[in-house]
Chains A and B, each alone.
Chain A
Amino acid sequence: MSTKSPRLSDALEGKEVVICAGSGGVGKTTTSAAIATGLAARGMKVCVLTIDPAKRLADSLGLEELGNDARRVDPKLFEEQEIEMKGELWAMMLDPKATFDELIARQAPDEESRDRVLENPIYQQISGALAGSQEYMAMEKLFELHTEGDYDVLVLDTPPSRNALDFLEAPRRLTQFIEGKSLRVFMKPTGFAAKVAGRGATVALSVMKRIVGFDLIADLAEFFNAFSGMVDGFQARAKRVNKLLAAPTTTFLVVCGPQGEPIDEAVYFHRKLVEAKLPFGGVIVNKVHYPAEKLRGEVEDLPAALTEKLGDEDLGRRVAANFSDYQALAERDARNIEHLAREMRATGVIRVPYLDEDVHDLAGLAQINRYLFATGEERVAMAAGRA
């Protein structure tokens, strides 16, 4: 298959927002950090945002911990990895609950409505854990930082979701929840809240009360009611967030692994991006087993050749068998990536090899960074020459 993939730096040219998306366990956090490092090394002021509660980003950047405020990564750390840092690298770990609270404070028309929401028991229970709230808050913070304009580029490591699609759907679900049409109906004086209060309760509500319990319905009504003053603000803001996501200065990079399942998910995610008219920048496949330059069949009897060179028949046989296993994985990866490229009509599939050492520190990050920013030909050469 073609190795003439464009450089990642071309795909990132002129971008202000880079969103790394993909399902869990494919190396998204490492990829985001490596991209941010590469852009910072090239002279830009970059902030990488993660929402990952597992502190993976902090670990890989050599930081003790990250907070809801950005921290600068010590440039000295990169010198040790022979990366010349012309720009600045900042990192931030999002606290969804704190971000949600800030958002409420900003959107509330007055202190009273703000406190009504913040003190509502349902809000307190859900603001950190509500499905989709992490995703929405990630976008919210991204929007806020972009508006403030302190950085040249923002790199977002999307929250680890079961399904990459959750990320695209979450904001819609959440904004619908807060500002949906149905909600507005309930908010009218004759709406939901009034009905719950008892006067003119419909049969539906009385049935629901039987299943759910009156207190919960009343709490929910109060919760929705408390939000009612903020509906317009939320709506306007959601629109601007969506506009930023669709802007030509934004790019979505799909990150995946080479196995069948992650590849299928990446294809599906790409389709959804296109449907949503969001800018797709390219796809990065991590942990690829590179074929050793199509060597299969080059030597007629590999075990014999190895035995001769190693002077050990048993070892020669085992080395050959192991090689065959590796080649099978490499062929599977090549097949899956070909399928991926075909489905996405993408020429820019960036393959990062499965390194011998697992990537969890700056040294590993530097290595990934070199792969990501190399040309396709360079990548193949690096993978082949790697000892």
Chain B
Amino acid sequence: MIVTGKGGVGKTTVAVALGMRAAAAGKRTIVCEVSAQENTSRMFDHAEVGFHEVEMEERLWSISIDPDESMREYVLLQLKVRAMRDMLFRSRIFNYLAAATPGLKELVTIGKIWELARLDRKTKAGRMYDTVIVDAPATGHGVGFLQTPRTFANIARVGPIHSQAQTLDRFITDHDNTGVAIVALPEEMPVNETAALEHDLVEEVGVAVDRVYLNGLYPERFSKEEAESLSALAAGEDGAPKAAARAALSEFGRARSQRAQLARLRRRVQAPVKTLPFLFEPDLGPEAARRLSKRLA
């Protein structure tokens, strides 16, 4: 399950909540971060995990996928002779090309995700997972990340990179086993962007978009009639009651305009939309993610 969406929509929170949900359902689950920012481990109030599969909770692991480490691991699996790989890692040409070849980092990152999802893992002490959840990079650059395997398959017309890139592309676009979830916010432009993103993911990349999560939906705390009676108070004399009335009207206004955005989103995307509530909490931690995970049932 690949969790994507534009920056700042709460991808990490949703990815972790999905992970908790799967683990609670008895699945051995790993949440993969690819941005090296350790947002996931922070979400669990855990120390940084790095390029290691670390158990966060029962049946729930986390890893931060580092492209350099993935590349190393890949070469190690390809070359069995130690002298050969030592020579390669020391080689200036190899290091230069590894650093400079565009898209290679994304490719080896997807390669690692593929490796984690395999049932016969080749890495030492590789655990078997039922569910792999990816907290994918923000979609600022369009759908580039998920398209990398195909781009490489096209660049390398034949040879091992070509066939491996093709394998990864098939993995990404395997509708039976791989799905994408888009996280959106109930605002005008994020809704537009989500619709465009779903279109590109389905039409250009060919992945299955299984669900759209509309995150941060304000609860409907006040009725229209109540809002009307609050308006007078909000226009009245200064003080705490006025400020409280204004906060209530603000909540009412947001909840209402967000419902309109939810309706727009439902009209504009193909995948089913699931809403997640806005949490009035200063800082989101593991407990907040757990509460959201219960809403994902």
Contact = CB atoms under 8 A, between A and B. Distances in A.
Interface in A337-382: 356-358, 360-361
A387 interface: yes
A162 interface: yes
A276 interface: no
B7 interface: yes
A208 B88 contact: yes
Contacts of A190: none
B123 interface: no
B233 A213 contact: no
Contacts of A208: 88, 91, 93-94, 97
Contacts of A202: 91, 93
Contacts of B87: 203-204, 207
Main secondary structure of the interface of B (DSSP, over half): helix
Given A212-B156, A216-B156, A262-B8, A299 B102 contact: no
Contacts of A121: 154-155
Interface residues of A, number: 84
B7 A125 contact: no
B267 interface: no
A332 B248 contact: no
Contacts of A176: 100
B140 to A, nearest CB: 3
Interface in B230-281: 230, 233-235, 238-241, 243-251, 253-254, 257, 261, 280-281
B51 interface: no
Interface centre among A59, A126, A162 (most CB of B within 10 A): A162
B283 interface: yes
B166 interface: no
B230 A310 contact: yes
B282 A211 contact: no
B9 A25 contact: yes
Contact of A310 (B187, B233, B282): B233
Contacts of B101: 220
B5 to A, nearest CB: 9
B29 to A, nearest CB: 23
Interface stretch (B56-64, B112-120, B141-149, B171-179): B141-149
Contacts of A215: 156-159
A357 B252 CA distance: 11
Given A204-B93, A208-B93, A212-B161, A160 B78 contact: no
A202 B101 CA distance: 20
B94 A323 contact: no
Interface in B189-208: 189, 192-193, 196
Main secondary structure of the interface of A (DSSP, over half): helix
Contacts of A54: 6, 189, 192-193, 196
Interface residues of B, number: 77
Contacts of A185: 92
Contacts of B241: 299, 302, 305-306, 309
A318 B281 CA distance: 17
Given A211-B79, A322-B248, A204 B91 contact: yes
Nearest to A96: B141
Given A126-B102, A160-B7, A216 B189 contact: no
Contacts of B44: none
Given A305-B240, A325-B280, A356-B250, A125 B221 contact: no
A121 B158 CA distance: 14
Interface in A18-68: 23-26, 52-56, 59-60
A84 interface: no
Contacts of B84: 207
A73 interface: no
Contact of A25 (B7, B88, B137): B7
B141 A129 contact: yes
A322 B189 contact: no
Contacts of A315: 222, 226, 229
29 contacts: A24-B6, A24-B7, A52-B140, A59-B192, A160-B6, A161-B140, A182-B92, A183-B100, A186-B96, A202-B93, A215-B157, A216-B156, A216-B159, A219-B155, A260-B283, A292-B247, A293-B238, A295-B239, A299-B239, A299-B240, A318-B248, A319-B247, A320-B244, A323-B244, A325-B280, A328-B280, A356-B250, A386-B246, A387-B235
Given A24-B6, A202-B91, A292-B243, 5 more contacts: A54-B193, A180-B100, A302-B240, A319-B230, A387-B249
